[in-house]
Amino acid sequence: MTKRSDMCFKFNRRDLMKAGAATAAVTAIGGLNYTPVGAQETKKVTLIQGIQNDQFYISMACGAQQAANERGLELEVQAGEKWDASIQTTLLNAVVQSDPDAILIAPNDRVAMISPLRDAKDAGIAVFTVDTFIEDDSIALANVASDNILGGQMAADALAELIGETGKVYVSNTIAGTSTTDQRQQGFEEQIATYENIEYIGNDYNNNDPTTAASQTSAQLQAHPDLAGIFGTNLFSAQGAAAAVKDAGRTGEIKIVGFDAGPQQVADLQAGVVDALIAQHPYDIGYQAVNLAADYLLDGAEPAEKVFTTGYSVVTRDNIEDPEIARYLYVSDCSELPETEATPAG
C-alpha cells in the first residue's frame, strides 16, 4: 500500500500574498529593535507562543515577523516560561490590557483557554489561534496549524516501515488536553492498529519535560526489553526518548520517530539515535496567520475558512541535505534561516 510517510507536503506562500498593504514597518523580535516607517495608524498584533525557547515557536515567530514586515504591521512576541494554562491566562490578560488589534495565540489547553480568549474577543480584539486550538470555534476567526491526525498517521507508517512492520511500539506524549499532541497520538494509534504484527503498548505523559520523557522511556525499556519502536509526539518527547535509548546502549536497535525538527533532534537523527522526523512547517504557520490577520485588519476581509492547514516533511538521514527538506528544519534564531525561507517567493 502507499505509505503516508512517503509524502512531502509543500506550502505555496504566493497564495497568501496580497497586493495593496506593503508599508515598510518592522518591529522587535529577539533582541532586535526596528522603527515603523511611513505607517499611519499602524495595526498592532501580538503573537503569544505556546512556550519560551522552543525552536518550533521561534521558527513560527520568524515567519510571522516576515509577514508583518511585508504587510506593515507592528508585531510583538510573548511567551510563558512553562506550558501551563494558568500562566498563559495571566500573560494573555496582560496582553489584552495593552490593547493590540489582533492576538495570535497557541492555546496551552483547549478547554481552559476558552474563557480568557472569549474575554479578549469581547474586548474588541481579533483572535486567531495557531498550532493548537480551543474547543469553542466561535471565538477565533481562524486556526492555522498542521493536520495533526495526519501527522500521527505519517509517524505510524514511518515507524512501521523502520521496524519491518512487526514488534512492540510505545508513544511518549506531552500533556493530556493539548490539542495537537492529543491528535498526533490519536492518528498514530488509529494507523498503527492497521498493522497486524505490531503491538501498541501504550503511552506516557511527560509534562513536556525531556528529563521526564527519558525516565519514562527507560522504565518502558526495562518492562519491555523487546521494544522495537518509539514515537515522540513533540520535540521534548523525542529528545527524552532518544536520550534514554542512547543511555541504554540500544542506539540503532530501537527505532525512533520524532515529531518536530529542532536542532537537538536533527543532531540525534544525524547521529543515528533517531531514525526519522516528522517536520512541521512552523514558519509557514506564522506567515499565513499574520497574513490572515492583515487581511482582516487592513482590508476588512474575514478568513474564508475557519481552519487552515500547512504541510509536513518527513526528514531522514538520506534526504536531510536536500534544500527542499533542510528549509523546514527549525531554528533558534531568525538569522539561521536559509535565504529561500527568510525571503518568500512573491
Residue 268's pLDDT band (cuts 50, 70, 90): confident
Helix (H) / strand (E) containing 257: strand 255-259
- Contact at 8 Å (CB) between 121 and 127? yes
Fold of the CATH domain 4-145+282-311: Rossmann fold (3.40.50)
Q: What is the maximum alpha-carbon separation in the chain?
A: 65
For the segment 102-145, what is each residue's pLDDT rounded down to a tens digit? Answer: 999 999 999 999 999 999 999 999 999 999 999 999 999 999 99
Rg of the chain in Å (alpha carbons) = 20
Domain boundaries in the chain? 4-145+282-311, 148-280
Q: Where are the alpha helices (DSSP H) in 205-255?
A: 210-223, 235-247
pLDDT of residue 41: 85
pLDDT of residue 40: 52
Question: Model-level pTM?
Answer: 0.78
At the top level of CATH, which class does the domain 148-280 belong to? alpha beta
C-alpha cell at 63: 515567519
Same fold, 4-145+282-311 and 148-280: yes
C-alpha–C-alpha distance, residues 242 and 269, integer Å: 9
